[in-house]
């Protein structure tokens, strides 16, 4: 009987376990998670913060899920070592899990900018349920919060905090919100909405440090000398792969775990999937870190199948984000800022309805998408992009359907 061990029980780990079960009905599958609770929807944490979703709605699986699928699950167990030679995973509790096939889907954790004061009580990140509990308990009623980073998580968190009645300052190092995902036009529309909700946006602003008095956060100091008063500072400046426990196994590199298209690592019978993987962009074929939920699920499925003996390839991740703030929707996908000169960009702005559409083509194929306001057709564009279908000749904005 084959023994499968999966490190991490979130998007990629669960998808892999189910995939293995479909290919190998008998194998023993063990999932290890360092979090004490059953799997939950990480993207819902910001909705939990705003109060739009209650705690009982964030669990991904029913209570009898692991039993029903025949998975062994070890919750609250931290992996300290992967011994590839002995084919063992060693846990902090002293327990040892021998494996025949191992999947590393240990995910990622938020980065911190490395400024003085970031280890204070009043400084937070939002990645786990424990993070949410700590932040939720510390939120000052009607107080001031500084959110650093205007990416998808930072934006949703800022919106959620303002929804909770906090005065929110959103700080972004680049010259616009969502700098990696959208162009200046879409960013301007979004910034307009944020201002309407009373969120102060500070672009071109780098955090320099946290101002404290007796360990209490007082303000966020910016590099240009300004100080934004805040009792709570939330950093949402991106994530970094969880690979420390791999130590000197040679599995991990700087930007995550390198894998081949079968999602195998450098060591035999060890696979990797999800946010801990270095990753490849589907459209460019170049290395690209794309830590998004749908890519993690897809990788988990493929890695799981390959662990159970299949031969499936992962072509790469298609970057895609859906940002929905109080009904204001932005969907982005593919390449936002393509460097190639041979791209053709068509965009269409409807100021009256607050809608914007930007399509990026390369060699007659769609490679980038931004939709603001009207997002219903997004899935069709994503099909065109992911399959790299040739665009029909007159597919200019507004004429997709004739």
Partner 1 sequence: MKTVIVRPERCVGCLQCRLACAVEHSRTKELVGAIGEQVTPRARLRIYPGRQHLAFPNKCRHCEPAPCQQVCIAGAISRAPRGTVDIDPAKCINCAMCAMACPFGVLTYAPLYQAPDKSAVALKCDQCPDREAAGVKPACVEACKVGALTYGEWQESQQAKGWALAQAVFASLQTPQETEPSPPASISVWRRLS
User: Using CB under 8 A as the criterion, which residues of the chain lie in contact with partner 1 when the complex forms?
Assistant: 41, 43-44, 47, 52-53, 57, 60, 293-294, 297, 320, 322, 324, 326-327, 329, 331, 333, 375-380, 382-383, 401-402
**Chain centroid offset of residue 89 CA:** 26
CB of 40 to partner 1, least distance (A): 10
Q: Helix H segments across 178-334?
A: 184-196, 293-307
C-alpha pair distances (Å), 28 with each of 21, 31, 73, 194: 9, 10, 11, 50
C-beta of residue 43 within 8 angstroms of C-beta of residue 58: no
Nearer to partner 1 by Cβ, of 222 and 282: the residue is 282
Reported as type and span, the H/E element at residue 115 is none
d(CA 78, CA 93): 8
CB of 152 to partner 1, least distance (A): 11
CB of 68 to partner 1, least distance (A): 16
Nearer to partner 1 by Cβ, of 115 and 372: the residue is 372
C-alpha pair distances (Å), 334 with each of 315, 317, 358: 14, 9, 12
In 3D space, the residue among 259, 249, 258 whose CA is nearest the CA of residue 306 turns out to be: 259
CB of 56 to partner 1, least distance (A): 11
Task: Provide the pairing of β-strand 3-7 with 101-104.
Answer: parallel
Nearer to partner 1 by Cβ, of 152 and 279: the residue is 152
CB of 49 to partner 1, least distance (A): 12
CB of 295 to partner 1, least distance (A): 11
CB of 176 to partner 1, least distance (A): 21
Nearer to partner 1 by Cβ, of 90 and 365: the residue is 365
> CA 150, 152, 156, 159 torsion: positive or negative?
positive
Locate 238 and state its tokens: 């991106």
C-beta of residue 7 within 8 angstroms of C-beta of residue 241: no
Helix (H, G, I), strand (E, B) or coil at 217: strand
Nearer to partner 1 by Cβ, of 128 and 320: the residue is 320
Nearer to partner 1 by Cβ, of 243 and 320: the residue is 320
Helix (H, G, I), strand (E, B) or coil at 19: helix
Nearer to partner 1 by Cβ, of 153 and 222: the residue is 153
């Amino acid at each position: 009987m084959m023994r499968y061990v999966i490190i991490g029980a979130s998007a990629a780990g669960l998808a892999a376990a189910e995939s293995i079960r479909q290919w190998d009905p008998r194998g023993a599958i063990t999932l290890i998670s360092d979090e004490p609770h059953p799997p939950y929807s990480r993207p819902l944490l910001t909705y939990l913060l705003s109060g739009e979703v209650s705690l009982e709605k964030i669990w991904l699986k029913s209570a009898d899920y692991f039993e029903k699928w025949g998975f062994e699950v070890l919750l609250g167990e931290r992996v300290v070592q992967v011994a590839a030679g002995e084919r063992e995973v060693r846990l902090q509790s002293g327990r040892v899990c021998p494996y025949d096939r191992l999947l590393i889907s240990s995910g990622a954790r938020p980065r911190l900018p490395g400024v003085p004061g970031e280890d204070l009580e009043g400084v937070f990140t939002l990645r786990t349920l424990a993070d949410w509990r700590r932040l939720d308990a510390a939120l000052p009623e009607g107080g001031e919060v500084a959110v650093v980073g205007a990416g998808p998580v930072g934006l949703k968190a800022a919106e959620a905090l303002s929804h909770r009645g906090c005065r929110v300052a959103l700080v972004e190092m680049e010259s616009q919100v969502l700098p990696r995902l959208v162009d200046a036009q879409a960013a301007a529309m979004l910034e307009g909405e944020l201002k309407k909700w009373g969120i102060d946006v500070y672009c071109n602003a780098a955090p320099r440090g946290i101002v404290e008095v007796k360990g209490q956060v007082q303000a966020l100091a910016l590099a240009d000398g300004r100080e934004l008063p805040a009792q709570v500072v939330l950093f949402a400046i991106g994530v970094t792969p969880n690979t420390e426990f791999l130590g000197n196994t040679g599995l991990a590199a700087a930007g995550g775990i390198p894998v081949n298209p079968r999602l195998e690592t450098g060591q035999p019978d060890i696979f990797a999937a999800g946010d801990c993987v270095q990753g490849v962009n589907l459209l460019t074929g170049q290395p690209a870190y794309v830590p998004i939920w749908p890519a993690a699920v897809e990788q988990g499925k493929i890695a799981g199948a390959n662990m159970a003996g299949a031969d499936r390839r992962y072509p790469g991740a298609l970057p895609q984000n859906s940002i929905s703030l109080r009904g204001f929707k932005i969907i982005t996908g593919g390449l936002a800022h393509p460097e190639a000169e041979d791209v053709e960009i068509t965009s269409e702005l409807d100021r009256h309805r607050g809608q914007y559409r930007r399509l990026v083509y390369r060699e007659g194929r769609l490679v980038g998408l931004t939709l603001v306001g009207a997002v219903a057709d997004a899935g069709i564009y994503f099909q065109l992009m992911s399959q790299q279908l040739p665009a029909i000749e007159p597919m200019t904005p507004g004429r997709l359907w004739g």
